[in-house]
Structure 1
Amino acid sequence: MVSQVKLYDTTLRDGTQGEGISLSVDDKLKIARKLDQLGVKYIEGGWPGSNPKDMNFFEEAKKLSLESAVVTAFGSTRKPGVTAENDPNLQKILESEVEAVAIFGKSWDFHVEKALQTSLDENISMIYDSVRFLKEKGMEVIFDAEHFFDGYKHNRDYALKALTAAEEAGADCLVLCDTNGGSLPSEIAGILDVVHACTTIPTGIHCHNDGELAVANTLEAVKAGAEHVQGTINGYGERCGNANLISIIPNLQLKMGIPCLNDEKISQLTETAVYVHELANQTPPDSQPFTGKSAFAHKGGMHVSAVLKHPETYEHIEPETIGNERRVLVSELSGQSNLMFKAEELGIPLDKTDPAVKDIMEKMKQMEHKGYQYEAAEASFELLIRNGLGENHDYFHLDHFKIIAEKEKEGAISTEALVKMDINGEKVMTAAEGNGPVNALDFALRKTIGEFYPLVHEMYLSDYKVRVLDEAEATASTVRVLIESSDGKETWSTIGVSGNLVEASWQALVDSIRFYFMKHSDRLQKLDAQPVHPGPGLQNH
């Protein structure tokens, strides 16, 4: 096993080949800075000869003041029948003015004959000539042996011959690629042993995830002596993606004791994963290992009880090590430990011997059975606890509301909501128009209570989600509404469940306002706030 590995990130090139992944030049520059801060050794910027965007990136990358990372280019060996000196792709690599390049060549005879449609000998010459040419220009050359493992399985001698040609031409590293992503860890190890017996320069590994083994195959390759590891942040890449560096790094460093980042840098892992997700306009998967929101989330009552005593009972590492955090969820599976933990987290003093605790637990499980999901709506959960302790946050009461939707023959639908409330013993009725029934209801509710509580104008709804809970019931299905609200400084989430979309939305709306009033009770009637237009979350609802 090696004592240290060099990380080679290809998010900006291979990662952008993933479905739904698109990065602007500015995005790529920002990610490059982030990867440099993390401590990645190589940052592959793209293929200079393939498109103007990549060439633009290399121009702009020259202005980056990177601490330690090396920006590399990617390209192919020369074309058949063309000298390396006259190959346009190799010339573009030189124009990028990078210090290092990953040049890929075919190592599977099937690909040579069917895809390149050239002779086996010519392909070996293409590898040798291309590596030699780039080395003569003073570049560090990393040879990516494309389809190496498949090639080895079909024609071992030819695959090894491709590596030998690159080594003899002066390559600095031989990277073995599981391009189709179909190899098994046991195969990787055995083949690496043979390669190391035939070559003398460092080897690397580049795996795809088609068999969901890219991370495992990468770790197995390192165990077998690979010193150079290629992958992408969050596993982005073509088809099922590339080996995920976010999982590889902590497994290497924390589990296998093989350094790949400085000790103080690994705590940036979660931040880096989320940052790249955001720039790629991807929703971070809650269940992403190590850095996902759910990676250290505990829901089962027995689990929570044990974790609160000894975290290692259900956590394989300390979440803070890689910049994540422990979370305790509340649901019908919860035990008293979950409730006590969440209460402490929310700053609510709870005595586990208090009979109210048992009542709160029972109420919570009844509500979860109806479809409420408090782990995603902590504001509603806090109200549930406080109500169970006898606190009263009923600042207003509904008398009734009415919604009218009208559509003319060729016109748009107009919606009006009328709300009658009981506020401090006074009956108040207001109407408002909106873009859809829920939007109209939101306007009318704020308008009604805003006369008594101007504080409501400081908050707005920032997101609105609906989920059908029993699809088999079609239009009679129960729905769950999750609303996220904000005052521009903080955000909170509330929930409503009903067989009627408007009723579920009303529940979440009321909880949202009551929660905000509760948190700012000292300011309830001391404001002369100006109305704030509700956020985009409720438009068209």
Structure 2
Amino acid sequence: MEKQVLIYDTTLRDGTQAEGVSVSVEDKLRIAEKLADFGVHYIEGGWPGSNPKDMTFFKEVKKLNLKNTKITAFGSTRRSSLKVEEDPQIQDLIKAETPVITIFGKSWDLHVTQALKTTLEKNLEMIYDSISYLKKYVDEVIFDAEHFFDGFKENPDYAIEVLKVAQQGGADFLILCDTNGGSLPTDIEKAFKAVKEAGITAKLGIHAHNDSDTAVWNSIVAVLHGAIQVHGTINGIGERCGNANLCSIIPNLSLKLGYETVPRENIKRLKEISNFVSDILNMPVPKNMPYVGDSAFAHKGGVHASAVLRNPRSYEHILPQEVGNRRKVLVSDLAGKSNIIYKAKEIGIEIDEKDERLTKLVQEIKELENQGYHFEAAEASLELLIRKHLGTLPKYFDLDAYRVLIARRYTDKSPISEATVRIKIENHYEHTASLGYGPVNALDKALKKALTAVYPSLAEVELIDYKVRIVNESGGTAAKIRVLIESRDKSKKWGTVGVSDNIIEASWQAVVDSIVYKLVKDGIKPAGGNKDA
């Protein structure tokens, strides 16, 4: 039977201390429900009494079906000047009515004397009193030994004495905390061995911060030396450099080391959980984040792509689908035929590596990238280019002319943008004009206005992101411009690209590709049945 490691998620408490993060009660409830469905064992909901939002959360979370997941209220030991039953924050923890309470106490003598401004003996009394009192009201009390590893380095006897007192008070788990995030795996190993040798018999856990970029490995080392509860956050968010990243810890423990964490079948939803929390908190997942990042299984070099197509193990440490991710073969000036074959296969087109069209396509992609095109972030434009070379791109319309007018009269508060578009569909012309918030918006609206009567599904297309990059900086105002556009409809997002020394022309190219891709994606036949690109 696999050894079990309990996953303790503190995204809703420690994670929300990250710079730029602000969540509503509804946000926290949605995340809690998702985490419980994923199978984490504990969810730390917040610090009752620190703000009205957290107390409301604890009230509302009781109405959710969280299955086997336990909600935890977080707080500190009693104040040195108050009896435990008279401390308002201790009472607030009880009022939260959670099955588990987590309290932290000082285990570094420096903090006891300088931060708490009390004696080492008094601190021990505060820890014992708080734990033994709270045990009367809840099923479990978890004790976070704050700054344990720093304390252990400077005064190991006192740090371990803190654990012994917490154990005597009845703590169900003793969590060794790397609060400053400065410890290395060797420090974790040494401390855990010393704790075991000191006769500590309570269940142990680890709470690591990432200030030395070792929080994940510190957590793994702790498990290898006896920890059975691991604290962390989704995507590793948290104060300063963040907390230990559960999106790396869970697959490392389960897929690499054979520990039981969340249910094995749920690990396939890891990327989904990562993206969900990212969207709620409005903190994008870094592309290069292990396991769940968009680039975690991306292959760019032609040699890599060729090898991974033959045997994924050649350049992938696990199969991407094990964590809900997918393989990406990128197409760039580094690409070879293997990359193109893979991309064509992704869109349902089989092509032989000896096909002469393939050689010409690779050459054109390299030439376009040399001009400033960037297909890694514009896969829709890439698909259209592949289809064009292979003769499978329908001809939906022809451009006759476009014009953009930007004017500002002295009576106007802001400039007015107007675009006029004249296109040919089958054997007739559509000539439309539209106002917009800017020239690109006006162009987009005018083009769709001309096309939606014939292709009504284009009304669903929405431009959601627009990026401009100078390709050759030394060119100054005459430099080439790359425009990347992200669009979406009801079911999907896609990226397109345009390059020109004229920003409007570059934008037009990207907008047209976005429109055409939507029609291709939906399987729309061209008006009049014309299929030639």
Instruction: Name the TM-score class by shorter chain.
Output: over 0.9
5 Å matches for 1:362-511? 362-391=363-392, 393-411=394-412, 412-424=414-426, 429-449=431-451, 453-455=454-456, 457-470=458-471, 471=473, 473-511=475-513
Residue 359 of structure 1 is matched in structure 2 by: 360
Instruction: Please state whether the residue corresponding to 1:285 is helix, strand or coil.
Output: coil
Is residue 459–residue 485 contact of structure 1 (8 Å, CA) maintained in 2?
Answer: no
TM-superposition CA deviations, 1:409-444 (whole Å, max 9, x none): 241211222334455565664433222111222233
5 Å matches for 1:245-260? 245-260=246-261
5 Å matches for 1:100-499? 100-198=100-198, 199-391=200-392, 393-411=394-412, 412-424=414-426, 429-449=431-451, 453-455=454-456, 457-470=458-471, 471=473, 473-499=475-501
CA distance in 2, matches of 1:495, 1:220: 45
Instruction: Please state whether the residue corresponding to 2:504 is helix, strand or coil.
Output: helix
TM-superposition CA deviations, 1:472-504 (whole Å, max 9, x none): 555444322222334434443321012221111
Q: CA deviation at 1:205?
A: 0.6
Residue 535 of structure 1 is matched in structure 2 by: none
Which residue identity lines up with residue 87 of structure 1 in the other structure? D
Is residue 464–residue 481 contact of structure 1 (8 Å, CA) maintained in 2?
Answer: no
Residue 539 of structure 1 is matched in structure 2 by: none
Aligned positions, number? 525
CA distance in 2, matches of 1:485, 1:373: 16
Q: CA deviation at 1:153?
A: 1.0
Question: Which deviates more, 462-471 or 156-165?
Answer: 462-471
Question: Which deviates more, 440-449 or 507-516?
Answer: 440-449
Inter-CA distance 522–47: structure 2 relative to 1 (3 Å threshold): closer
Inter-CA distance 491–41: structure 2 relative to 1 (3 Å threshold): closer
TM-superposition CA deviations, 1:110-154 (whole Å, max 9, x none): 111111111222111111111111123344111101011111111
CA distance in 1, matches of 2:492, 2:142: 48
Which residue identity lines up with residue 512 of structure 1 in the other structure? S
Instruction: Please state whether the residue corresponding to 2:115 is helix, strand or coil.
Output: helix
Is residue 71–residue 99 contact of structure 1 (8 Å, CA) maintained in 2?
Answer: yes
Instruction: Please state whether the residue corresponding to 1:289 is helix, strand or coil.
Output: coil
Inter-CA distance 497–217: structure 2 relative to 1 (3 Å threshold): same
Q: What percentage of aligned pairs have identical amino acids?
A: 50
**Structure 1 outlier segments of 4+, above 6 Å:** none
Q: CA deviation at 1:49?
A: 2.2
Instruction: Please state whether the residue corresponding to 1:343 is helix, strand or coil.
Output: helix
Inter-CA distance 6–522: structure 2 relative to 1 (3 Å threshold): closer
Inter-CA distance 28–431: structure 2 relative to 1 (3 Å threshold): closer
Which residue identity lines up with residue 16 of structure 2 in the other structure? T
With structure 2 as the length reference, what TM-score do the two structures score? 0.93
Which residue identity lines up with residue 62 of structure 1 in the other structure? K
Q: CA deviation at 1:328?
A: 1.5
Which residue identity lines up with residue 400 of structure 1 in the other structure? A
CA distance in 2, matches of 1:501, 1:182: 48
Q: CA deviation at 1:233?
A: 1.0
Which residue identity lines up with residue 205 of structure 1 in the other structure? I
| CA RMSD after TM alignment | 2.2
CA distance in 2, matches of 1:520, 1:37: 33
Q: CA deviation at 1:526?
A: 8.4
Inter-CA distance 234–134: structure 2 relative to 1 (3 Å threshold): same
TM-superposition CA deviations, 1:151-178 (whole Å, max 9, x none): 1111112211211111111111111100
Q: CA deviation at 1:365?
A: 0.9
Inter-CA distance 518–28: structure 2 relative to 1 (3 Å threshold): closer
TM-superposition CA deviations, 1:181-240 (whole Å, max 9, x none): 000101110111001112111111100001110001111111111111111111111001
* Structure 1 unaligned residues grouped into runs of 5+: 528-541
Instruction: Please state whether the residue corresponding to 1:177 is helix, strand or coil.
Output: strand
Inter-CA distance 151–472: structure 2 relative to 1 (3 Å threshold): farther
CA distance in 2, matches of 1:225, 1:486: 48
Is residue 36–residue 69 contact of structure 1 (8 Å, CA) maintained in 2?
Answer: yes
Inter-CA distance 364–161: structure 2 relative to 1 (3 Å threshold): same
Is residue 466–residue 479 contact of structure 1 (8 Å, CA) maintained in 2?
Answer: no
Question: Which deviates more, 368-377 or 469-478?
Answer: 469-478
Inter-CA distance 87–483: structure 2 relative to 1 (3 Å threshold): same
Instruction: Please state whether the residue corresponding to 1:497 is helix, strand or coil.
Output: strand
Which residue identity lines up with residue 371 of structure 1 in the other structure? G
Inter-CA distance 128–335: structure 2 relative to 1 (3 Å threshold): same
Which residue identity lines up with residue 517 of structure 2 in the other structure? F
Is residue 49–residue 75 contact of structure 1 (8 Å, CA) maintained in 2?
Answer: no
Residue 536 of structure 1 is matched in structure 2 by: none
Instruction: Please state whether the residue corresponding to 2:264 is helix, strand or coil.
Output: coil
CA distance in 2, matches of 1:415, 1:245: 48
Inter-CA distance 365–37: structure 2 relative to 1 (3 Å threshold): same
Residue 69 of structure 1 is matched in structure 2 by: 69
Residue 28 of structure 1 is matched in structure 2 by: 28
Question: Which deviates more, 72-81 or 476-485?
Answer: 476-485
With structure 1 as the length reference, what TM-score do the two structures score? 0.92
Residue 90 of structure 1 is matched in structure 2 by: 90
CA distance in 2, matches of 1:161, 1:392: 73
CA distance in 2, matches of 1:333, 1:58: 53
Instruction: Please state whether the residue corresponding to 1:8 is helix, strand or coil.
Output: strand
Q: CA deviation at 1:403?
A: 2.1
CA distance in 2, matches of 1:276, 1:421: 44
Q: CA deviation at 1:402?
A: 2.6
Is residue 108–residue 155 contact of structure 1 (8 Å, CA) maintained in 2?
Answer: yes
Which residue identity lines up with residue 234 of structure 2 in the other structure? I
